[in-house]
Amino acid sequence: MDRETLRSKLASRFLWYNLLAMLLVLILLMLGVKWGLAVYTHHGEGIPVPNLERMSYSKARLLLEQDGLQIVVSDSGYVKTLPADCVLAQTPGHGTRVKAGHTVYVTLNSPSSPTVAIPDIVDNSSYREAEAKLAAIGFRLLPPQTVVGEKDWVYGVSCRGRRVANGDRIPTEYPLTLIIGSGTYEETDDYDYTDGAEGSSEGGASADFDDFEEVHEAPSEDGIN
């Protein structure tokens, strides 16, 4: 094919009409796919999630079911000032638009505070170490009680007037009292004395002498003793 023939074909209106038609079909196809996906996924449409926080679980469930949504309890927490079984948190959050049938996950308030095991601190740590361990897991400490023993050594833990041991599970809302050594020790006698020993040290000599009688020798016949 020479240059003249190629040039004439490129200048042909029929070729350009075909190219424009193909481009137009491609654009329409892309727009059709986009519109079809929007219709299929209901783009821009949705149900706003209501605010469920501090609402009872039964009321929250009824409200969601009326909107065509579902509810699932995913976790629990504890807030002392709120009633049991009320919603503490939700996912998705308030105002989020979701499709019908979408699941809303909620965290409910527990009826009682969680219990935590007392760590291995009794007769195994100092006051500062025990205080740090207990505070890290959520316990509140009252002023410590002191007993005779090594200074600041933990000899026990008391909760509401009752002694607890390592491993006992206690609600974190109950304050704890550590029983620690005062650094003083009781004075004890190293030696025991008996009455007999005391007698020998005080009046033993006179008692021994009292057992003997003085004997006077009789004079000899020649007058010489």
Residue of 79, 140, 68, 139 lying closest to 104 (CA atoms):
68
Whether the ω angle into residue 92 lies within 30 degrees of 0, i.e. cis, is: yes
Average pLDDT of the chain, as a whole number:
80
Quick check: 164 and 170 in contact, CB under 8 A? yes
Question: Per-residue pLDDT tens for 74-117?
Answer: 998 888 889 999 999 999 999 999 999 999 999 999 888 888 99
Share of the chain above pLDDT 70, in %: 72
pLDDT tops 50 at residue 208 = no
Q: Round to whole Å and give the CA distance between 148 and 146.
A: 7
- Which residue, chain included where needed, has tokens 């009826």? 111
User: And the tokens for 6?
Assistant: 């190629």
Residue 67 backbone dihedrals phi, psi, to 5 degrees: -90, 5
Question: Per-residue pLDDT tens for 135-151?
Answer: 999 899 999 999 999 99
- The pLDDT value recorded for residue 20 is 82
pLDDT tops 50 at residue 220 = no
Three-state helix/strand/coil letters over 18-43:
HHHHHHHHHHHHHHHHHHHHHHHHCC
* 95 Cα distance to chain centroid: 32
Task: Specify the pTM.
Answer: 0.48
User: And the tokens for 36?
Assistant: 């079809």
